[in-house]
Each structure stands twice: as structure tokens, then as C-alpha cells.
Amino acid sequence: MAPAPGTPDPDAILDLRGVDKAFNGVSVLEGVDFSLRAGEIMALIGENGAGKSTLMRIVTGIITADRATTMTWRGGPAGFATPRRAMDAGIAMIHQELNLLPHLTVAENIGLGREPLTRLGLIDRARLRRDAAALLARLRQPIDVDRPVGTLSVGQQQMVEIARALSLDARLLIMDEPTDALTDVETAVLFEVIRGLKAEGKGIVYISHRLGEIFTLCDSVTVLRDGRTVHRGPVAELDEATLIRHMVGRAITDQYPYLACPPGPERLAVEGVSAEGVRDVSFTAAGGEIVGFAGLMGAGRTELGKAIFGASPLRAGRIRVDGQEVRLRHPRDGITAGIAYVPEDRKAEGLIQPHSIRTNMSLAALARFCRPGGVIRRADERAAVDRFMAAFAVRARGIGAEVRTLSGGNQQKVSLAKALMLSPRVVILDEPTRGVDVGARREIYGLINELKAGGLCILLMSSDMPELLGLSDRILVMAGGRLTGRFARGEATQEAIMARAVG
Ligand SMILES: Nc1ncnc2c1ncn2[C@@H]1O[C@H](COP(=O)(O)OP(=O)(O)OP(=O)(O)O)[C@@H](O)[C@H]1O
Ligand SMILES: [Mg+2]
């Protein structure tokens, strides 16, 4: 149980009070209080850009606070000068954005910087591989430790990050949205592991935008709003509506707004499609329809999305858009055919991190803003970018801000805007609200529904079950690259879907 803001907690292992931080003169944290006891699972929640990652990056020595009343870790000073020192003091963090080296193997990534040595002082590869395999077994992830990390799905990479953090055997483990690419089954395994760490007396900071998880897993909660601590207390004293009010300062009703639309004509037909990770998939989808795709990690949903978009070559089958067969050899072909794709991995595939919001949003759609002769109508481009900035409530210093300086959820909004800027006929959304806060999710859902009402055909791939059940007109289930179940909206339940997903 956390004491009132400002009062020290004598039992805390980590105690931060009055923490201030600004970037380029803009205040991001103001007088933040945060504390945690041994054996406590503390949720840290707040809207996108509230300052959660920034606060935890201060704890792990990646950045330093501008000012603080006190910062203590196990009785001594916290506020480490480097990540290495924080690690040596027993603090580990799983970062929000994937931080793995794609060309190294799973085992090499897990052991990076702490490789076991043989007596001759060489890297003990056998042990490196054995340790990695043991950690992955603990997470029940039978991933081949010799595979290059870049060939894994985002969810699998997230598991590798988690395994890497576990290998440090830290006293405090900070998890910044560890489940945002995991499905229910993998999340349940992770929660078991976290409860095990709690039982060993370790402290856990758990950051997530899936509010259901806070109630399942966490003991206490700290809420940040606009860089200030607005609530601290036990989870048991809260309900979801109150938590949301603390986070966004107002109530949000109808979190997953379903919009019933009269079914339009068939827009997309996928016939016997096989591709990398996809086997003989057939379905159709109409304009004004949201078709949800469920499945466990590695079921082939992302691969299917890529095949339909032209980012992964078809081995068999045909794809028609508005009755016309489309030949897809390259994502460009997908765009020309009116198919847009919002990738799951915004960092690697979606956005150019060092470029501005404006460039990222409009790059793929620049042709639309061109006069004959190739002159870009900057005013039109600007107006389009401004419209999406407002519609998605992107929180940034301006449209010139570099994408890498945005919080994770705001990056996701930019990635979504980039695809919609193309005015597609079919849009494939792969985890569209990964890392997006409850208020902004509601805005994005509203926008998806508007697009739906406008006759767009939407394929929604999501590992967030309430989102999938809440928004979809139909749900298709995948397992092992195949379609294994089809449910109409009224028939779909979490249990029925899971049975097909594991089957
Ligand atoms: N290096 C940086 N330079 C400039 N601004 C930054 C930098 N890092 C973070 N910020 C800003 O600080 C604010 C807080 O960001 P932070 O990443 O801590 O938010 P968050 O609570 O983790 O959000 P999310 O839920 O989206 O991950 C944001 O407005 C962000 O744009
Ligand atoms: Mg963050």
C-alpha cells in the first residue's frame, strides 16, 4: 500500500519524490512521487506521453532527473549515472520499443554483454545457448535459440526481451508494456512468471494500456497525468471507471463502440492464398465491414496481412479488390490497388524515426499532393497532416517534431495516419492500438468506425481480445497459417475463439 503523495514510505525499496524532468525546456515530469516495496507489483499507468517511460528511464540511468527531493534505492541513493550502474545495483528494464540486434541469434541477444566464458576466456557458446533455452522454456516459448532475432515475430521478440531481462536476475524489474504484442495465452504465462518473481520478494513495475491486466496482476497503482502523480493506492480499492477517470480526467463510456452498418458490396476476395507462413486461406470481406482476425502468436495473421498487401509473395491463390484481380509483387502494388497496411512493428517497418511527423505521415501519399510536373502542393499536404494530428489527438510539439521523440502511443497514431492518408479501399490494421492509451483508443475506434461507415473494408488483426470482440462484425481464427474458425459477431466468445486458436 502506498502512502499519500509526498510522504516517505519507510518500507519502500525504491522511493522517488519530487522528480522533475524537462526536454528542451518543456516540462515532462513535475514533482513526481513513486515508491515500491519488495514483493510488490506496482502498476504505472497514464495516457500516452504522461511520462511513464521517462520516469523509468531515470530509474535505470538512461537519462537523469533535472531535480528531485529524494531518490533512494534500497536505502542508498538512486539516480544512477549509467544503465550499467543501475543494472549492477539490481535494476533491469524491458523497454517499450524492441531493443534487440536483428542479425544476432536469440541466444546471443539474451546473453549480450554478459556472455559466459570458458576457462580459456572464450565465449562459452554451449552454455550461452543452454541458458537461453532454459529461460525461454520458463516462458514456455519453444523458440530456436540459433535463429536470428530479425526472423521472429514481434511477439516472439518481445518474449526474447523478457527472457533477457529475466537473465539479469534483478531485484527490481521494470516492464514497459511487455504484453502489447502478446495474446492471452502468452500473457497468462508471463503473469505466472511475474507472480513467481513477486513470491521471491522482487519488486515489479508494470506499465500497460490494457487496463484489465492491472486488475488481474497488480497490487498497487500509480497514475501519472501530464507529468504529475495524480493517484497512488491499492488496486483493490479501484474499479476500471475510476482508474480511467484518474488517467484522463474524465469518464469514458462505451470503450469499444460497435457500429452496425448495412453490409456493402464485396470489396476484397482472398481465394486459396498461400504464402510464407500462410496456407490455403480463403475469405471475402465487404465494404462497411470489420473482419477481425484472432490467433495465437505465430498463427500467421501478420503473414497473411503482408501477403494481401504485397509485402510477401503469393505462392498460390488470387486476390481481388472490387472484383478486379490484383497482381501484388511489391507493397507499391498494394497501394496502387487501394490496399493499405499498418504494420505491427512501427519501429522497424512503419516509421522513419529521425524524420518529422509531417514527413512520415505524408511520404507514402506524396503523389496525391503533386501537381503535374512533380511540384508538391505543400499547403494541401500540411492541411492533410493537420487534420490527422487533430483527429488522432497526436501529442507532440508540432508536426516538425522527430518521430523518435514521441511517446510510443503517439508514434502508433502517426503510423495509422500514414496509411489512412492514402485513402485506401481496404485497410489492414495489424495491432492498431498497440501501446495506445484508453482515451486515444476510443478516438481511433471512432475513426475506424467512420471509415467503416464510409464503405472502407477493414481487416483487424489484434491480440487484444476485448477490442477484437468489441469492434468486429465477424471474427476469423487462424492457427498454423490456416483459417480454423469463423464466427459471426453474435456467436464469437473468448472461449470459442481460444478453442479454435489452440486447435
Ligand atoms: N528525448 C526526448 N526528447 C524530447 N521529448 C521527449 C523525449 N523523450 C520523451 N519526450 C516527451 O516526453 C513526454 C513523455 O514521454 P514518455 O515516453 O515518458 O510517455 P509515456 O507515458 O511513456 O507514453 P506512452 O504510453 O505513449 O508510452 C512526451 O511528450 C514525449 O514526447
Ligand atoms: Mg512509454
Residue 233 corresponds to which amino acid?
G
Residue 48 corresponds to which amino acid?
N
Apex 262 CA angle, 264 and 308, nearest 5: 40
Cα of 238 vs centre of ligand 1, distance in Å, is 26
β-strands 482-488, 474-479 pairing: antiparallel
Mean pLDDT computed over 365-381: 81
- What is the C-alpha separation between 155 and 298, in angstroms, rounded? 8
Interacting residues of 166 by C-beta distance below 8 A, sequence separation 6+: 135, 138, 139, 173, 193
Closest CA to 309 of 328, 294, 290, 291: 328
Checking if the pLDDT of 483 tops 70, the result is yes
Checking if the pLDDT of 5 tops 70, the result is no
Checking if the pLDDT of 160 tops 90, the result is yes
Question: Which ligand 1 atom lies nearest to the CA of residue 50?
Answer: 21
Chain centre to alpha carbon of residue 360: 19
Checking if the pLDDT of 9 tops 90, the result is no
Answer positive or negative: Cα dihedral of 276, 329, 341, 286: negative
Q: What pLDDT does 408 receive?
A: 79
Checking if the pLDDT of 323 tops 90, the result is yes
Q: Is pLDDT larger for residue 434 or for residue 215?
A: 215
Q: Where are the beta strands (DSSP E) in 216-302?
A: 220-225, 228-234, 266-275, 278-286, 289-295
Cα of 233 vs centre of ligand 2, distance in Å, is 21
Cα of 433 vs centre of ligand 2, distance in Å, is 13
Checking if the pLDDT of 493 tops 70, the result is yes
Which cell numbers in the block locate residue 82?
Answer: 549509467
Closest CA to 179 of 167, 169, 191: 191
Checking if the pLDDT of 350 tops 80, the result is no
- What is the C-alpha separation between 208 and 175, in angstroms, rounded? 9
pTM of the entire predicted model: 0.83
Chain centre to alpha carbon of residue 346: 9
Q: What pLDDT does 386 receive?
A: 93
Domains belonging to the chain, first-starting first, are 14-248 (3.40.50.300), 254-338+424-503 (3.40.50.300), 350-423 (no CATH)
Q: What pLDDT does 120 receive?
A: 86
Which cell numbers in the block locate residue 42?
Answer: 506496482
What are the residues whose beta carbon lies below 5 Å from ligand 2 (ion)?
53, 96, 408
Mean pLDDT computed over 386-396: 87
State the average pLDDT for the chain.
90
Q: Edge to edge, what strands does the sheet with 76-77 contain? A: 26-37, 12-23, 70-73, 76-77
Q: What pLDDT does 364 receive?
A: 79
Which ligand does the CA of 176 lie closest to? 2
Mean pLDDT computed over 260-280: 94
The tens digit of pLDDT for each residue in 88-124 reads 999 999 988 778 899 999 999 999 888 888 888 888 9
Q: What pLDDT does 407 receive?
A: 82
The tens digit of pLDDT for each residue in 52-83 reads 999 999 999 999 999 999 999 999 999 899 99
Q: Edge to edge, what strands does the sheet with 426-430 contain? A: 339-342, 426-430, 457-461, 289-295, 474-479, 482-488
Checking if the pLDDT of 237 tops 80, the result is yes
Ligand 1 environment, Cβ below 6 A: 23, 28, 46, 48-54, 96, 395, 405-410, 435, 437
Give 3-state DSSP helix, strand, coil % of the chain, rounded to 5.
35, 25, 35
Helix (H, G, I), strand (E, B) or coil at 147: coil
Mean pLDDT computed over 353-369: 86
The tens digit of pLDDT for each residue in 446-457 reads 888 988 999 999
Q: Is pLDDT larger for residue 109 or for residue 153?
A: 109
Q: What pLDDT does 8 receive?
A: 65
The tens digit of pLDDT for each residue in 17-48 reads 999 999 988 899 999 999 999 999 999 999 98
Checking if the pLDDT of 346 tops 80, the result is no
> Any idea of the CA torsion for 160, 161, 164, 166, to the nearest 10 degrees?
-100
Q: What pLDDT does 252 receive?
A: 80
Cα of 410 vs centre of ligand 1, distance in Å, is 9
- What is the C-alpha separation between 177 and 58, in angstroms, rounded? 17
Residue 180 corresponds to which amino acid?
D
Q: What pLDDT does 329 receive?
A: 84
Checking if the pLDDT of 195 tops 80, the result is yes
Q: What pLDDT does 184 receive?
A: 85
Cα of 28 vs centre of ligand 1, distance in Å, is 7
Which cell numbers in the block locate residue 129?
Answer: 545457448
Select from 59, 230, 405, 438 the residue to mutate for testing ligand 1; criterion: most ligand atoms less than 8 Å from CB: 405
Q: What pLDDT does 198 receive?
A: 95
Which cell numbers in the block locate residue 19?
Answer: 522528480
Select from 20, 26, 28 the residue to mutate for testing ligand 1; criterion: most ligand atoms less than 8 Å from CB: 28
CB atoms within 10 A of CB 196: 12
State the pLDDT confidence band at 7, using cuts at 50, 70 and 90.
Answer: low
Q: Where are the beta strands (DSSP E) in 276-418?
A: 278-286, 289-295, 314-321, 324-325, 339-342
Q: What pLDDT does 391 receive?
A: 83
- What is the C-alpha separation between 426 and 285, in angstroms, rounded? 9
Q: Is pLDDT larger for residue 305 or for residue 336?
A: 305
